[in-house]
Structure 1
Amino acid sequence: MSANTTRSEGRPPHATGTAGRRGTAGIVLLLAGTALLFLWVCAAAWFQFEPPLRWAVIALAVAIGGTITLLAWRRRTAGWMALAVALCATAVWWASITPSNDRDWAPDVAHGVTGEVRGSDVVLHNVRAFDWRTEHDGTPRWESRRYDLDALETVELFSSVWGNPAIAHTLIGFGFKDGARVVFSAEIRRERGEEFSEIGGFFREFELVMIAADPDDIIHLRTDMRRETVSRFPLRLTPEQARTLFLSYVAKANELATEPEFYQTITTNCTTVIFHLARLVDPRIPTDWRILLSGYLPDYLYELGIIRTDLPLDEVKRAAVLVPDGRPPPASKPMPVPQADQL
């Protein structure tokens, strides 16, 4: 009997099969990791670079992915090492992409709002008050406006839907006894000529900007120019809660002016910003899936009692829809507050 036969007979019967399965599983795992990294790098390169650099980065990703694939079949340990190096290099590149406030911005997001607070007196700088002629053409006007927090009377949620009813852009409006109104909107900050992309929002394509605007600008733009379905829901807040929410917007706007952030489609968007600011007013507000599917945010607020509940939800939502008529309707009257400690 040969020495090879003796060694084979000395092993447990299942040893060879188990080792083979483990080897195959290791190869599959390595190839899957390589494929995921390859796809992610290609997507990131698509949104981060313009041709021809975009194609050069994608070609480099193809070459690295192909090399790791070959190593996976021939020298698996070397393949894992190559994948680890590729991951580290990708992480370093990704960390080097930082947000900025200094770019050639689209006219409607050229300025983010900032504020000065002196007691109950607030001055907002760069309040947008465009006169829109079409969806993309308007006369730019940025103003400084003064607001008296002691005269703060109403807070409203605006929900704007343009396609999928599960997705909405959300805005918060404040009304004052002297007739002054301002609407805050956390928006993507597009560069001149740049188009919005939900997928691009996952890959640091856009910065986040806080816009404060006259309702005759920002609501009129959506109802009459873009023909979006805009609904208005008065919020049932105490005066102190309304004041705190207003100041939290000013604080966030000032923060973005000095510490820019990226817009992120899931975690840092118009609705999640509202949620985080509302948490400053009342930390007990529960997390809910409708914060992500923002088209259903009114349903969530209805359950919390933050919007009117004297009618069935469907009727409340129907009554909230604004009809395009050239300008938004006047501010609503204050809503009664059923519980002083409830946001």
Structure 2
Amino acid sequence: MTEHKMPARSLKKWILPTLTGLFAIYASAALYYSTLEPEPLRLGATAICALLFILTGLIRKTLQRCAILLGMVTCFFIWFYTDRPSNTRDWAGEYAVLADAVQEGRIIHVHNIRNFSYKTESDYTPHYYNADFNLDHLSSIDLITSYWSGDSIAHVFLSFGFDDGRHLAVSIETRRQKKFAYSTIAGFFHHYELTYVTADERDLIGVRTDIRKERVYLYQLELSPQTREAVFKNYLTEIHQLNTQPRWYNTLLDNCTTEILARANARTRYRLDWRVLLSGYTASLAYDLELLNTHYDFATLHRLSRIIRPENATPDENYSNEIRESLPITLANK
């Protein structure tokens, strides 16, 4: 009997401290990366949280320790789930103005389309404009993947094309406050609101190809006209709702890739595909779903779909045509 009881006792010795330690790290990080103000309150709450977990770990009586831990966990989740996102913060310049979209019959009125002129990534001239788009003239949706380091992680967004040559790019991003630098870890907590940046391609793609010098790829999605319109209208609905119903961004659950799948009404099993988390492989997933040009194998399509820009190029009024000149979608139509 002793041989059977020893493992159980050993488990009790390490399971509770391990779970307590993991939750203490998570709770402390959640407070540290929260939007609590003023700053001393946020830092003080983080320190007190960590200290309380440490002191609780020193209590010898298991029942007493569990009761205190349960109370602390309950208090944390009450705070966490009542911590609401907001549209009224001191935002970084590129996120200062929210886009909006209103449908009137077959006409879509899009407000605050961003079109910044960049000298450097941080030196730019803000500019916004309004435009109307006719759903009957929606002719394409392009998938853009932009890599800044390695092949596993990329920023992924869509650009909606119209038969008059105009393109409306929409990027799902973290809405960052001016006082915070970007942090990948912070995206796992209530640190950034989620935003749909609605912009001219000269801005949204151009800053990546010509200013940041990232590796940028553009693939045309092969969708029926009905599906194209449904995806576009889903995006527009979310853009409008975010003006009155802000949401938290979450690196795992509500990021640029999962939001694209949600707006496209993707089947659940594909939302759980490993390539959703490793966003650099999103195009590969789209290819396997037969949403891309399958006349090429994926390796060839990927190579041909890279946007190549001349040295020292800057986005001009013909930018959308220029970046598509040598891509498979243009070659196939010649």
1:315 to 275, 300, 323: 300
2:198 to 195, 212, 223: 212
How has the CA–CA distance of structure 1 residues 99 and 213 changed in structure 2, closer, same or farther, with 3 Å as cutoff?
A: same
- Contact 1:159/1:230 (<8 A) preserved: yes
Residue type at the aligned position of 2:243: A
The aligned counterpart of 1:233 is 219
Q: Distance in 2 between matches of 1:118 and 1:144?
A: 15
- For the residue of structure 1 that corresponds to 2:239, the secondary structure is helix
The aligned counterpart of 1:296 is 281
Q: Distance in 2 between matches of 1:305 and 1:46?
A: 43
- Contact 2:167/2:320 (<8 A) preserved: no
The aligned counterpart of 1:268 is 254
Deviation of 1:55 after TM superposition, in Å, equals 4.0
Matches within 5 A, 1:139-288: 139-279=125-265, 283=267, 286-287=270-271, 288=273
Deviation of 1:61 after TM superposition, in Å, equals 2.5
Unaligned runs of 5+ residues in structure 2 are none
Number of matched pairs: 318
Residue type at the aligned position of 2:249: Y
Deviation of 1:86 after TM superposition, in Å, equals 1.1
How has the CA–CA distance of structure 1 residues 40 and 146 changed in structure 2, closer, same or farther, with 3 Å as cutoff?
A: same
- Contact 2:176/2:182 (<8 A) preserved: yes
The aligned counterpart of 2:68 is 82
Percentage of matched positions with identical amino acids = 30
Deviation of 1:26 after TM superposition, in Å, equals 2.4
How has the CA–CA distance of structure 1 residues 284 and 95 changed in structure 2, closer, same or farther, with 3 Å as cutoff?
A: closer
Deviation of 1:189 after TM superposition, in Å, equals 0.2
The aligned counterpart of 1:26 is 12
The aligned counterpart of 1:35 is 21
Residue type at the aligned position of 1:306: L
- Output one character per residue of 1:196-248: Cα deviation in whole Å (capped at 9) or x when no partner: 21110111110001111000111110111111111000111111211111111
Residue type at the aligned position of 1:318: R
- For the residue of structure 1 that corresponds to 2:13, the secondary structure is helix
Query: What's the TM-score once normalised by structure 1's chain length?
Result: 0.86
Unaligned runs of 5+ residues in structure 1 are 1-13, 337-343
Q: Who wins on radius of gyration, i.e. which is larger?
A: 1
- Contact 2:187/2:251 (<8 A) preserved: yes
- Output one character per residue of 1:84-119: Cα deviation in whole Å (capped at 9) or x when no partner: 111111112212311001111111111222111122
Residue type at the aligned position of 2:209: T
Matched, 1:96 2:82: yes
Residue type at the aligned position of 2:286: L
